[in-house]
């Protein structure tokens, strides 16, 4: 009787071993086939706009210079400027130790700049400009992401933190 159990036990062990290696493949196939448990394809909350001109081509009253390693939060401040300036200043501070890698550029608006902020004016208002819009500009001067005036600052913070972690300091 002991001999007849041994082949069964060996077959069960073999089937269990096959199941252990096959189960992840079956689960992955099911996830892809029925779109269950797959993360959202989009990771950025902002909008990508490849046709957006580089910062050097923006119609501003003066040229903007920022460090080669600096990211830039550029925002249009033609409406509700005091609230927007404070909102983006708070976001900048929320970056913590990564804050020195980011600068802020206020385009338009009246009043004194907040600490760490540069202020310029539109020489002429471009077609792609909308009041309160925010752009994240990379160190090469390209607008990477754009946000509407109604964006949740936490979404912008998530995106900026992700960009900074994916692009470490040189």
Q: What is the pLDDT of residue 96?
A: 92
Q: State yes or no: pLDDT of 102 exceeds 90.
A: yes
pLDDT in tens, 26-41: 998 988 888 787 766 6
pTM exceeds 0.85, yes or no? no
Q: Tokens representing 59?
A: 């119609």
148 within 8 A of 130, measured Cβ to Cβ: yes
pLDDT bucket at 99, cuts 50 / 70 / 90: very high
pLDDT bucket at 85, cuts 50 / 70 / 90: very high
Q: What is the pLDDT of residue 112?
A: 86
* Cα–Cα distance list, 35 to 26, 40, 43, 45, 81 (Å): 14, 10, 17, 21, 43
Q: What is the pLDDT of residue 43?
A: 67
Angle ∠(43,44,49) on CA atoms, nearest 5: 130
pLDDT bucket at 80, cuts 50 / 70 / 90: confident
DSSP letter assigned to residue 57: G
Average pLDDT of the chain, as a whole number = 87
Q: Tokens representing 152?
A: 């949740």
DSSP letter assigned to residue 130: -
- Transcribe 112-162 into DSSP letters: PPPTTEEEE-BSS--TT--TT-EEEE-TTS-EEEEE-TT--HHHHHHHHHH
């Amino acid at each position: 009787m002991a001999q007849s159990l041994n082949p069964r036990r060996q077959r069960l062990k073999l089937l269990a071993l096959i199941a252990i290696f096959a189960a992840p493949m079956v689960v992955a196939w099911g996830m892809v086939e029925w779109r269950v448990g797959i993360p959202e394809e989009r990771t950025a909350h902002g909008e990508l706009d490849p046709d957006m001109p580089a910062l050097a081509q923006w119609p501003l009253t003066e040229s903007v210079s920022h460090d080669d390693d600096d990211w830039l939060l550029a925002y249009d401040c033609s409406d509700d400027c005091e609230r927007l300036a404070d909102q983006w200043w708070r976001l900048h501070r929320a970056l913590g130790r990564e804050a020195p890698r980011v600068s802020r550029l206020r385009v338009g608006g009246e009043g004194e700049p907040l600490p760490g902020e540069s202020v310029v004016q539109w020489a002429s208002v471009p077609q792609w400009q909308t009041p309160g819009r925010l752009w994240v500009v990379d160190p090469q001067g390209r607008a990477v992401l754009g946000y509407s005036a109604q964006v949740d600052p936490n979404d912008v913070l998530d995106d900026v933190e992700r960009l900074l972690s994916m692009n470490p300091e040189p």
